[in-house]
Amino acid sequence: MRKVKIGFGRVGRLERRGEWPWAPNGALMGSRLGVRPFFRRCGGANPRKARAARLAKSLVTSDWESWCAIRRSMW
């Protein structure tokens, strides 16, 4: 498997599972393409809210400026 850096940036709801790489078919599609999704941070208005996709508490933040700084440092 190759490690590929792809930045996902979106403003909206985190519960829309079909649009995100960690949706039920995301792992299958990723394995067929030869990539594995890796997430550093996800932004949300309320980090304590229950989500449809299970995310680690350290990934979800309400601080959008820190999220953008991480995106810039990825490249």
pLDDT in tens, the chain (75 residues): 566 665 555 545 555 444 455 555 666 666 777 766 666 666 666 777 777 667 777 777 777 676 666 555 555
How do the domains of the chain map onto residue ranges? 17-74
- What is the pLDDT at residue 1? 57
pTM of the entire structure? 0.36
- What is the pLDDT at residue 18? 43
- Report the alpha-carbon distance of residue 51 to residue 49 in Å, rounded: 6
- What is the pLDDT at residue 38? 63
Give the mean pLDDT of the chain: 63
**Phi, psi (5° rounding) for residue 67?**
-65, -40
Q: Which residues contact 69 (CB under 8 A, 6 or more apart)?
A: none
Please report, for residues 1, 11, 16, 59, 72, the alpha-carbon distance to residue 46 in angstroms, rounded to integers and kept in the order given: 34, 13, 16, 12, 23
Q: What are the tens digits of pLDDT across the range 14-34?
A: 554 444 555 556 666 667 777
